[in-house]
Amino acid sequence: MGRRAWIRLAALSGLVSVAAGAFAAHGIADPLSKELLRTGAQYQAVHALATLACIAILPLGSRQANWAMGLFMVGSLLFCGSLYALALGAPRLLGAVTPLGGLSFLAGWASLAWAAARLPPDTMV
């Protein structure tokens, strides 16, 4: 996928995180549902920004950042998506997907660290 597509995906992920946070603040009364939406929105916003950071280092020759971006987006889909679904009444069994999204986030951060470690020593970011 090209950089433009990743930027679009990151921007849409940020949009969804703001919408979920706003819905938590103004559209849901149940405290547990509010908390699930807030948590999902927070994690999704952070990982949308992390995806943009990966895009910034791609031109420096760090191809491993592609892995990080993909893992961040998969994590957002699985972790945040399952929290949003649970907040909206999905069966509790769907909560079993949430840790897979968390593992994807962790793997994404590890990939980003690997990408940074592979940059030439004189690279200015």
- pTM for the full predicted model: 0.92
User: In terms of C-beta distances under 8 Å and separation of at least 24 residues, what long-range contacts does 101-104 make, across chains too?
Assistant: 101/74, 101/75, 101/76, 101/77, 102/75, 103/75, 104/71, 104/72, 104/74, 104/75, 104/78, 104/79
At 125, the pLDDT band (50, 70, 90 cuts) reads low
Rounded CA separation 82/20 (Å): 13
pLDDT digits (tens, 9 = 90+) for 76-121: 999 999 999 999 999 999 999 999 999 999 999 999 998 888 887 7
Residue 71, both tokens:
């893992």
Rounded CA separation 54/42 (Å): 19
